[in-house]
Every structure is written in C-alpha cells, then in structure tokens.
Structure 1
Amino acid sequence: MFEWSETDLMIRDAVRGFVDKEIRPKLDELESGELPPYPVIRKLFAQFGIDAMSEEAVRKSLARERAGESAGESEENAQDSMMAVLISELSGVSLGLVSALGVSLGLGAATIRARGTLAQKERWLADLMTMRKVASWAITEPDSGSDAFGGMQTTVRRDGDDYILNGQKTFITNGPYADVVIVYAKLDDGTTAKRDRKVLTFVLDSGMPGFTQGKPFKKMGLHASPTGQLFFDDVRLGRDRLLGETEEHGSGDGRESARSSFTAERVGVAFQALGIIEECLRLSVDYARARTLWGQEIGRFQLIQLKLAKMEVARINVRNMVFNTLERGRAGKPPSLAEASAMKLYASEAATDVAMDAVQLFGGNGYMQEYRVEQLARDAKSLMIYAGSNEIQVTHIAKGLLADSATKR
C-alpha cells in the first residue's frame, strides 16, 4: 500500500466536512471542558453510520463465535483502514477527542473482545463499540509509571467465589466519566512476592459500591480528553467480572493482555502523529504564503523553506509507517511490540518537532491561542509521554533486537 484508496479518500473528505461543521466551531468548548467529547463522537458515529455498522459487526462476530467460527479478516481489515483515516483526520483538529475515542474502543472494548468470554462480550461489547457507553482502561498508578507490572499496588484477594479490589489508578483517559472500566490488579494470595504476583483483569461498571471516579485533571494539552483518578475501596467483584473468568496464565493473566494492548496503542500513536503533522504542514504552508516581511512572502526565505521541507519529510515517513502497518495487517503479519514501540518513538518525536517548528514559523502569532499551532504543539507533546514514555520505548526496541539476535544465532 502506497496511497489511500478511493474509498479511503471519500471517507477522508466526508470526515473533513464533518470536522469543519461540527468540531472546529466547538473547539473552544472542547478545550475548556465545557463540552465533553462524547456527544461529538456519538454524532460522528450516527452521521457516518459507524454505530449501526459496529452493532451489526458485533452481532455477526458473536454469532460466529457461538457457531465456533473465526472472525472475517477482510471485514476487519476494511474497518482498520477506515479507522486509520478517521483517527488521522480527527487528530489534526482535536487530539483529545481522538484520545477519548481511541481508549474507549481501542483499549477498553478491544480488551473485552480479545479476552472476554462469550457472555462477557454479549454483556458489554455492543454498547461500547457503538459508543452508547464509554470505556476506560486502567493500568497506570501513582507510583508505578513505566514499571506498570512490577510497581503495581492495586490488589484483589479472593473472598469465597468473589474478589475484593483495593487500590487506585491515575492518568486514566475517560476515567471521570467512563461507564465501563477495565482494571488491572495483582492477586494477593498471601504467599507470592509482590512483584511476582499474577495480574488479573476485571470489568467494572460505574456506580459500583466502593468504586469512585475522580474529577478531570487540568493538563498541558489534550484538553478535550477527560483524564482522572480511580479509587477502589473493598469493591466486591464476582467471577463474571474477571475477564476470561479464569486466573490461568495465557488466558486470564493480565500481563499478556496488557502487552497486546500496548502494541495496538503505540501503533495508534503513529496514526495520531500523522494527523498532527499534516495539519501543521497545511497551516504552515498557508501562513508562509500569506505572511509578508520586507516586501515578500516569508515562504521565499530559505530558513522557512527548510522548516517546510523537514515537515514534508516527516509527513512522508510517518505516512509510510501507517501504510506499512495496514498492509501487514492485511497480510496477517501485524507489528511486534518492539516494532510498535519503534513506530511510536519516531512518530511522536516527529510530530512534536513539526509542531514546534510550526509555532516558530508563525513567530509571535504561533504562541497565541488564536492560531491553531499553539494547541497542536501542546497536544503533540503528549504523544511522547502516554502509551508509555519514549524512554521506555527505547528499552522495548532494544530488547526486541537483542532477543531476535539471540534467536538467529
């Protein structure tokens, strides 16, 4: 794949029309938190029929699972291409909105789809895939950060056939308003050392006794994405809320589940970065043509041309990463965690560099909120931190390389 298909371009143009009509006029409300992202996302889903298509896809998938059949790959690949276009286009106008959407679908719903029993999928999946309900995905804790598993302090202990959950999570996208929450916790069996304890994954619903959702944080960027803390105080959970309804490693252990989600999340960062880069480049080219100094367009100055050229190189590189990922998915060869980490590392740095260059190109105007590049720069920086900081990506890339080298000997 080296370019978007005609269908992809039709979707792109339609999304741009929606963005111009429904999102750009509401950016101030989204950025201030006055307007949550969810009504906008639901309107997008309704206008493009994504909600109806998603519900039908869930219905067919569950029917196939009941019959013991596998999912249809061509259908899933078509949706992957559509979502890539949707994510990149929306990221250029409101990365916070995309973050809220991406976590709910790409982490919350996807974890239930990949790890849940048929009964669990029937219970939660349709509402989440249609965005009737919003999901959050809770693994990060105040004292764990990149040491997500080793430093995890949130615990569950067995109590008869139930589990009792205690602890807290932080920096949780959609946390303040989520209807459904995927929570990772360590099993306190009274004997295993804390760092070695089994990680289990549970599904909670808002309003459960002992479960508190904190208020949204105030952040540097991603203002349209509500982020907050979750608190668990003796929350009683039945086994029907344990994903897979088993503790067995490889089926119920949360480490494997989370790592799979890490891969998808980091690939998604490349899609988001592409949207920011394309929007920064578009705005910068327009400004370089319109802004005059010393009697000529600033686009005639070589230093301005250098910035534009570097932006275009970044756009081509990140777009090629996106295309390569989509093509590999169609071939049944998705990227490994190390490869996804490499994509995330490069794309997030490229988007941040491009956005900061855009601010510099705009000069004093670029530092003003009236000009969009200020928001894009704040949002782009978040890509270097969430989905695992870029420092931890280096570790995953190196471990992947060293493991491959040892295998090939």
Structure 2
Amino acid sequence: MIEWSDEDVMIRDAVRGWIDAEVRPNLDALDAGELPPYDLIRSLFKTFGMDELARSSFASRIRREHEGGDSDGDSGEDRPSGGNAAMNMLPIIELCKVSPGLVTAMGVSLGLAAGTIMKRGTVEQKERWGLDLLTMDKVGAWAITEPNSGSDAFGGMQATARKAGDEYVLNGSKTFITNGPYADTIVFYCKLDDGEDPRDREILTFVLDRGMPGLDQSRPLRKMGLHSSPTGELFLNDVRAGADRLLTGGSGDGKESAKQNFVTERAGVAAMSLGVIEECLKLSVDYAKKRELWGQPIGDFQLIQLKLAKMEVARINVQNLVFRHIEMQRAGRAPTLAEASAMKLYSAQAAGEVAMEAVQLFGGNGYMSEYRVEQLARDAKSFQIYAGTDEIQVTHIARDLLSR
C-alpha cells in the first residue's frame, strides 16, 4: 500500500466535513476542559452509522457464541481486514489534526475497555457490558497505572483482590486513568492477595460500575495537554465484586491481556502521530507562504525550508508505518509487542519534533494558542509518555533483539 484508495479519500473527506462542522467550533471549550468529549464522539458514531454497525456486528458475534462458535475473538470472521483497518485509521488521523484528546478518550473506551471485555469476557459479560461500550452509549476506562508503579505496571502494582466467600474485596488506587472521572464501566487490574510475594502474584481483571460502594472517581486532573481527554484517579476501599465481574476467558491471564492491549494502543499512536504531523506541516507551509520578513515570504529562507523538508520526511516515514500496519492486518497478522513499540517510539518522537519545529517556525505566534500549533505541541508530548514511555519502548525493542 503506497497511497489511500479512492474509497478511503471519500471517507476521509466526509470525516473532515464533520470535524469542521462539529469539532472546530468547540475547540476552545474542549481545550479548556469545559466540554467533555463524549457527546461529540457519540455524534460521530451516529453520523457515520458506527453505532448501528457495532450493534449488528455484536449481535452476529453473540449469536455465534450462543451457538457454540468462537468465543475469544480469534476467528477469521472477527479479524479486521486491511479495508476495515484503513476505515478505522482515517478518523483517528483526521481527528488528531484538530483534537488528539478526542481519539484518546474514544480509543480507551472502545479499544481497551470494550476490547478487553470482548476478548476475555463470557457471553453474559459481553452482553452485560460490551455493547453499551462499543456504541459509546456508555464510557469505559482501563485502569492499570498506579501512583507508585509508573511504567512498572505489573511488578509495582499494589491494588489487591482478596477472596471473601463467593466475592472478592478490592482495595487500591489508580492514577492517570483516561475517562476515569466520567467512566460508567471500568476494567480494573489488580493482584490476587494470596500470601505470595507481591511481585509474583496473579494479575486479575474485574469489571466495575460507577457508583459501586467504596469506589470513588476523582474530578479531572489538570495536565499539560490533551485537555479534551479527561484524566482522573480511582480509589477503591473494600469494593465487593462478585465472581461475575471477574474476566477469566481468552488466552493467558490478566497480564497477558494487558500486553495485548499495549500492542493495540502503541500501534494506534502511529496513526495519531500522523494526524498531528500532517496538520503541523500544513499550518507551517501556509504560514511560510503568507508571513513576510524583509519584504519576502519566510518560505524563501533556507532555514525555514529545512524545517519544512524535515517535517515532510517525518510525514512520509510515519505514513509508511501506518500503511504497513494496514497491510499487516490485511494479511491477518498483528504486530508483535516489539514491533508495536518500535512504531510508537519513532512516530511519537517524530510528532513531538515536528510540532515543536512548527512552534519555532511560527515564532512568537507559535507560542500563542490562537495559532493552534501551541495546542498540538502540548498534545503531541503525551504520545511519548502514555502507553509506555519512550524508555519502556526501547526496553521492549532491545529485549526482543537480544532474545533472537
């Protein structure tokens, strides 16, 4: 794949039209954190029929499972094709040109919260929680990061589940949780309190609902960027969860499930980065043509041309990573953790560098929110932190190389 198809371009242009009508007029409220993103995301779903498509796909899948068919999401029928991958990528790219936080909020609810339930849940659990998340009728959160664990998500995890009769008693806290303040459904990771060494304990995954006794969801945290993606903390004090809330299906334990989600999340950062890079490049080219210095457009100066050229190289490279990901899905293959880490490491760094170069090219104007590159630079920085910092990506890539 070397370029978007005619069908892809039609989808892209339709999404752009919706963004111009619905998102751009609300950018100030989104970036101020005054407007939660969920109604806009639901509008996107309804406008393009994504909610009805989700209902139809969900009904077919549940029917197969009731009939004794595949239940872990690995059947060929469930595996996304290259065409579907392109259709999924394009809205991500276009939204990230304007408000990357919208994609973060949507991606965590769909890809991580709903995705975990659909991979590891029983039929009953999928029917109970899955569909409402897949249609965005409800908001999902994926809670793994803790205040004292950081990138050592599993080894440093302190949240616990203690068996108490037919139930589990959950205690602990989570931080930096996307959608945490507004989530209706929370996929919660913790360790089984079984007396073993804490670092060796089994990882369990529960599904929790807003309003459960002992579960507190904080107000949105203030942060550097991604203001359109609410982030919060979760506090659990003797939350009682029945066995019906424990996800035990699929392959592997909770730790393996989380790793699979890291692959999805990290590969998705390439598409998000491409959106930021394309928008920063477009804004920079337009500015270089119009802004004059000493009677000539600044685009005539070689230092400005060098910045634009480097932005274009980054755009081509990250676009190629996105196209490669689409081709892999078309071939029925998902990236390995190391491959996804490599995609994220390069694309996140490229997006950050391009956005900061755009701010520099705009000079004083680039530091002003009116010119938009300021917001994109703040948002792009998060790509190098969430879903594992740059340093964690390096570790996963190097370990894979050294194990061969």
TM-score, normalised relative to structure 2: 0.97
Q: Are 1:31 and 2:31 matched, yes or no?
A: yes
CA distance in 1 between partners of 2:202 and 2:231 (Å): 27
Which of 238, 241, 244 is matched with 1:237 structurally?
241
Please list the CA deviations of residues 106-164 of structure 1 after superposition, one character each: whole Å capped at 9, or x if unmatched. Answer: 11111111111111111111100100000000000000001100100000010111100
Q: Is the 8 A contact 2:81 2:329 kept in 1?
A: no
2:332 is aligned to 332
Shift of 1:78: 3.5
1:344 is aligned to 344
Task: Select between 54-63 and 167-176 the one with higher mean Cα deviation.
Answer: 54-63
CA distance in 2 between partners of 1:142 and 1:244 (Å): 26
CA distance in 1 between partners of 2:305 and 2:223 (Å): 33
1:107 is aligned to 112
CA distance in 1 between partners of 2:370 and 2:322 (Å): 31
CA distance in 1 between partners of 2:2 and 2:64 (Å): 33
Q: Structure 1 pair 73/204, CA: closer, same or farther in 2 (3 Å)?
A: closer
What amino acid is the match of 2:121? G
What amino acid is the match of 1:40? L
Shift of 1:62: 1.3
Q: Structure 1 pair 178/359, CA: closer, same or farther in 2 (3 Å)?
A: same
Secondary structure of 1:184 counterpart: strand
Q: Is the 8 A contact 1:146 1:392 kept in 2?
A: yes
1:262 is aligned to 262
Q: Structure 1 pair 58/4, CA: closer, same or farther in 2 (3 Å)?
A: same
Shift of 1:313: 0.4
Q: Is the 8 A contact 1:64 1:71 kept in 2?
A: no
2:156 is aligned to 151
1:204 is aligned to 208
TM-score, normalised relative to structure 1: 0.96
- Percent identity reads 65
Q: Are 1:93 and 2:98 matched, yes or no?
A: yes
Output aligned runs, 1:10-409, within 5 Å: 10-67=10-67, 68-69=69-70, 70=75, 72-73=77-78, 77-190=82-195, 192-244=196-248, 251=251, 253-403=253-403, 405=404
Q: Is the 8 A contact 1:61 1:71 kept in 2?
A: no
Please list the CA deviations of residues 331-353 of structure 1 after superposition, one character each: whole Å capped at 9, or x if unmatched. Answer: 11211000100110000000000
Secondary structure of 1:370 counterpart: helix
Q: Is the 8 A contact 1:280 1:373 kept in 2?
A: yes
CA distance in 1 between partners of 2:133 and 2:115 (Å): 9
Please list the CA deviations of residues 262-314 of structure 1 after superposition, one character each: whole Å capped at 9, or x if unmatched. Answer: 01000011110000000000100110111111111111111111110000000
CA distance in 2 between partners of 1:103 and 1:146 (Å): 18
CA distance in 1 between partners of 2:276 and 2:266 (Å): 16
Shift of 1:251: 4.2
Secondary structure of 2:289 counterpart: helix
CA distance in 1 between partners of 2:123 and 2:82 (Å): 22
Please list the CA deviations of residues 60-97 of structure 1 after superposition, one character each: whole Å capped at 9, or x if unmatched. Answer: 11112222143515765433221100101101100111
What amino acid is the match of 2:281? L
CA distance in 1 between partners of 2:11 and 2:187 (Å): 31
Q: Is the 8 A contact 1:291 1:298 kept in 2?
A: yes
Secondary structure of 1:141 counterpart: coil
Q: Is the 8 A contact 1:243 1:252 kept in 2?
A: no
Q: Structure 1 pair 327/215, CA: closer, same or farther in 2 (3 Å)?
A: same
Q: Is the 8 A contact 1:92 1:276 kept in 2?
A: yes
Please list the CA deviations of residues 17-75 of structure 1 after superposition, one character each: whole Å capped at 9, or x if unmatched. Answer: 01111101100011112111001000111111111111111111111222214351576
CA distance in 2 between partners of 1:169 and 1:163 (Å): 18
Task: Select between 303-312 and 250-259 the one with higher mean Cα deviation.
Answer: 250-259
For structure 1, the 5+ residue unaligned runs are none
Q: Structure 1 pair 239/252, CA: closer, same or farther in 2 (3 Å)?
A: farther
What amino acid is the match of 1:229? E
